[in-house]
Amino acid sequence: MGKENGESIEERTAYHWADETALKIIREKGEKDVYTCAAGITPSGTVHIGNFREIMSVDLVVRALRDQGRKVRFIYSWDDYDVFRKIPTNMPKQEELARYLRFPITMVPDPWERDESYARHHEVDVETMMPVVGIYPEYLYQAERYRASVYAGGIRRALEKREELRNILDRYRDEEHKIQGPWWPVSVFCQSCGKDETGLDGWDGEWGLSYHCDACGQGGTVDIRAAKGVKLNWRVDWPMRWEYEKVDFEPAGKDHHSRGGSFDTARHICGEVYGWEPPVTFAYDFIGIKGLGGKISSSSGVVIDLKDVLRVYTPEVVRYLFAGTRPNTEFTISFDLDVIKTYEDYDKTERIAWKMEEAKDEAAYRRERRIYELSRTAVSPEGKTLMPGVMPWQAPFRHLCSLVQIADGDTEKTIAALKKSAGKNAADGPAEEQIPALRERILRAKYWVEHHAPGEFRFSLRPPGERAELPADLALGVRALRDTVAADIEKFPDDKSCAGAIYKAAEEAGLEAKALFTAAYQALIGRDQGPRLAGFLRSIGRERLLQILSAY
Ligand SMILES: [Zn+2]
């Protein structure tokens, strides 16, 4: 076994499921020059975040293999020669799309008129997002490959083994559900009208396949080696391609992994008909979405994809969510207050990984460090994890939510405020190389506050000159706050000393502290509550505080 960074894969295996799977692949498939890891999907609609779990899971295992110095071919199959069976409810131009039912999805026009087809539109949506999260597969387009007769040999094999295939598919079915009547492992898109509403009439024992079309009445004999439109049934197509690509690893959704499910039959077909040992696999579970209120339900047609998740979570935190959860465990992606908790969890893992915070024991440290490594998006030319040269500068998400609002949503002003809050010692502030990642996080804080945060998170500072209607005693309290706290705000070394001064100001004005707090929020943001006052005042800064409070 290879030893990298002084640690063998066996040692790592104890700490992360991706390393565990990588080791299983090496053990079961033996020492190989290249390991082939596969994922794939039919782009028959939006590729939602639940579908994304597959490609992410494979990427994590690919990364684990490459981190051990193994060479990997990572293929992602677009099963775009599938038939357009159903129009998803979130698609525009439903009536127009209905005209293309039963055609291959590559022949359906793009309802947004952006790409060459309906299938391509969904493919492009995914392919443009993958590099953002550090995923670089080799895409295989099945329509193109089938139409180029790449699989002619595999199709002929299926025809030769027609009865065996039928028996395998029937193996898990009770009498009532066994295949009835004549059965073929292939289907043909009509050479005249393009639809798949065809029936097969015979096979000549070599390359000729005859069919008739129920849609247009045409038919004839096609040569499997040359004709466009001959396609294996899904349950046979999948294992045929495992053999064709020599796939060593491919996971599948737990629905495919049920007894007698498509993975189960594919495993038998792969071994018994195509003579290839089936890939190492695992089942991955579903993903829940939380905090979108009534916006998401299966009937509403709202579909959450990776792009939506990336509006709220940075690419590293997205990877962290997947890397930190075993694939066979369901988890939830939150858009509500738990967004803050997720960022806090990530930051803690980061501190542990960089030994800035102690883990509860060595095993916990190793686990957290490995999750952190796998969360990084940057990879070397060989695909190995690249760690940043210095630990990222941590800015708590909750704090950024306040700062970005004080900065009127301006990212650069928010960064300037962060630098300023580091105080006289500029070395305590973010360094140039740490700013790009910070900028990414600020954009998410801004988006979250605007779109998903609970109402109490949102505020805007009063413009100078605008005055809250306050009783005389509270107005006096605000004036005391201005003259004794705001005017000296830059002199407080931390929130605690500033909070002390606020309490003192309340006492001197003869007010309950709570009353002064309410008055301060009213004066600043026109509400009874807001972010913790001391930190809030310090974040706003002297100049702006005095501008707003000059009205008292
Ligand atoms: Zn036809």
CA dihedral 522, 526, 528, 532 (to 10 degrees): -80
Instruction: Kindly give the parts of the chain with pLDDT less than 70.
Output: 1-12, 293-301, 422-427
**232 Cα to the center of ligand 1, angstroms:** 18
Alpha-carbon span 189 to 411, nearest angstrom: 53
Q: Quickly count helices (H) and strands (E) in the chain.
A: 22, 14
CB atoms within 10 A of CB 34: 10
| Spacing, Cα 197 to ligand 1 middle (Å) | 7
pLDDT at 174: 87
Gap from CA of 77 to ligand 1 centroid (Å) = 28
Cα 327 to Cα 50, 56, 68, 87, 230: the distances in Å are 11, 10, 21, 29, 35
Cα(191) to centroid(ligand 1), Å:
7
Question: Residue 249 pairs with which residues in a beta bridge?
Answer: 37, 280
What are 34's strand-pairing partners?
A: 71
Which residue from 386, 388, 385, 387 is spatially nearest to 67, judged by alpha carbons?
A: 385
Distance from the alpha carbon of residue 9 to the mean position of ligand 1, in angstroms: 55
Å from CA of 210 to ligand 1 middle? 13
Distance from the alpha carbon of residue 43 to the mean position of ligand 1, in angstroms: 24
From ligand 1's centre to the CA of 442, what distance in Å? Answer: 55
pLDDT of residue 209: 96
What tokens appear for 13 in the block? Answer: 């295996």
> Could you give the 3-state DSSP secondary structure of residue 284?
strand
Helices 495-508, 472-484: axis angle to 10 degrees equals 140
Report the separation in Å between the CA atom of 160 and the middle of ligand 1, taken as the mean of its atom positions: 26
Task: Report the separation in Å between the CA atom of 199 and the middle of ligand 1, taken as the mean of its atom positions.
Answer: 10
- The reported pLDDT for the residue numbered 465 is 84
Q: Strands 283-284 and 287-290, how do they pair?
A: unpaired
Q: Could you tell me if 210 and 202 are in contact, meaning their C-beta atoms sit under 8 angstroms apart?
A: yes
pLDDT of residue 294: 54
Distance 119 CA to ligand 1 centre (A): 22
Q: Whole-angstrom distance between the N-terminal and C-terminal Cα of the chain?
A: 73
pTM of the complete model? 0.92
CATH of region 472-549: 1.10.10.350
- Which tokens sit at 468? 């809250």
CA of 123 to the centre of ligand 1 (A): 27
CA 147 to centroid of ligand 1, rounded, Å: 17
Distance 95 CA to ligand 1 centre (A): 21
Give residue 450 CA to ligand 1 midpoint distance, Å: 52
Characterize the bridge pairing of strands 287-290 and 186-188: unpaired
Spatial contact of 513 and 503, defined as CB atoms under 8 Å apart = yes
Evaluate the CA torsion angle 119, 121, 125, 127 in order and state its sign. Answer: positive
Where exactly are the structural domains of the chain? 3-153+234-284, 287-375, 397-457, 472-549
> How far is it, in rounded angstroms, from Cα 534 to Cα 144?
63
- What local confidence, expressed as pLDDT, does residue 259 receive? 85
Per-chain residues with Cβ under 5 A from ion ligand 1: 190, 192-193, 213, 215-216, 218
> What separation in Å is there between the alpha carbon of 189 and the centre of ligand 1?
8
What is the Å distance from ligand 1's center to 218 Cα? 5
For residues 405 and 48, give the distance between their C-alpha atoms in angstroms, rounded to a whole number: 31
Whole-number Å distance, alpha carbon 212 to ligand 1 midpoint, is 8
Contact indicator for 312, 335 with CB cutoff of 8 Å: yes
Whether CATH 2.40.30.10 fits 3-153+234-284:
no
Cα of 211 vs centre of ligand 1, distance in Å, is 10
Distance 93 CA to ligand 1 centre (A): 25
Question: How remote is the CA of residue 213 from the centroid of ligand 1, in Å?
Answer: 5
Mapped to the 3 state alphabet, what secondary structure does 87-107 carry?
Answer: CCCCCCCHHHHHCCCCCEHHH
Identify the burial level of 167 via C-beta atoms within 10 angstroms of its C-beta, where 0-12 means exposed, 13-18 middle and 19 or more buried: middle
Beta bridge partners of 333: 289
